[in-house]
Structure 1
Amino acid sequence: MITKIIPCLWFDECAEQAMNYYLSVFPNSEITHIERYPDESLNEHFVGKAGKVISGEFVLDGVKFRCLDGGPVFKMNEAISFTIDCKDQSEIDYYWEKLSYFTELEQCGWCKDQFGMTWQILPHNMGELLANGGNKAIQVMMQQQKIIISDIENAK
């Protein structure tokens, strides 16, 4: 099946580093293509960039992504995030340890990694946990940075 919608991530001269880092975090992942800047003598815009990444394609746990090293013109922000549905607390802990970088920005299972990408690291049954616990569960969740499933389950 051909994937019709593929997220493209804009990096500031760290696309290759980001791809390699994400591959180390997510299982079943691979870089499928890298396009590099050609010889800098071909174009004035290539000066100092020969051999560096222009764009790349990679797969993280079965999800296809594209990226480019577009420079400092645009920055990632919280308007776009990727949710990781976790099977249990140990999986939440794993991804949180790997992806949480800016601790002052963490809240309700949201964190930002070293490249500026925002992640929601949540239990797969988050809706059910909140529905079962009512307002108290929501209040507990709102006070958390990393989600602690047992605290939400025990909200009374």
Structure 2
Amino acid sequence: FMNENVGRAEEAIYFYNKVFKNSEPGDKFYYPEGLEPNKTSQLAHARFKIENQWFTCMDSAYDYGYQFNEGISLMVTLEDQGEIDDYWEKLSTVPEAEQCGWLKDPFGVSWQIVPEHLDEMMAHDSPEQLKRVTEAFLKMKKFDIATLEKAYHGE
């Protein structure tokens, strides 16, 4: 976490642990004195778990010339519309970044909130089905499973 987000890594861990049901914080190590421009209140290294997957993060007060962007995103695949709606409501804070199941959270991290069976719709059937599903989701911000299924079945 750097630039405008420096000092927010610990806040992000708590946020993600609230958003995701199967999550937990891990080890946290703060910068010692003498490593300016970093502060002793900032995380030098931390781990947290979401759905049995460990993630690491850190704060850095150095200017690296970039910020979080869409070059990296985290994908969450979900079974039903209720789950999609729930995660979308909890994570999305940048409406202009919402497109085709993508959103940005309060820290600028990009996420893809995707129906579990979208891959099946995209991979296993006719070119016409693929075209209809693709055309349907390109118009969406948050995925709507019922609309995708109608497109898949040609309804």
Q: TM-score, normalised by structure 1?
A: 0.84
Identity across matched positions, percent: 36
Aligned with 1:112 (options 70, 92, 104)? 104
TM-aligned CA deviation for residue 61 of structure 1: 1.6
- Residues 154 and 24 (structure 1 numbering): CA distance in 2 closer, same or farther, change over 3 Å? same
Say what the alpha-carbon RMSD is for the aligned residues: 1.9
Distance 2:101 2:85 in 1: 11
AA aligned to 2:51 is D
Q: Unmatched 5+ residue regions in structure 1?
A: 1-8
Once the two structures are TM-superposed, the CA of residue 29 in structure 1 deviates from its matched residue by 1.1
Please show how residues 30-69 of structure 1 align to structure 2 within 5 Å.
30-38=24-32, 40=33, 43=34, 45=36, 49-69=39-59
- The correspondence of residues 3-42 of structure 1 with structure 2, limited to 5 A, is 12-38=6-32, 40=33
Contact 1:15–1:55, Cα closer than 8 Å, also in 2: no
Per the alignment, residue 150 of structure 2 pairs with 154
Normalised by the size of structure 2, how large is the TM-score? 0.84
How far apart, in 2, do the equivalents of 1:99 and 1:146 lie?
12
CA contact (8 A) 2:7 2:41 kept: no
- Counterpart pick for 2:121 among 119, 124, 129: 129
Moved more, 66-75 or 138-147: 66-75
Aligned length: 144
Is residue 130–residue 152 contact of structure 1 (8 Å, CA) maintained in 2? no
SS in 1 for 2:15: helix
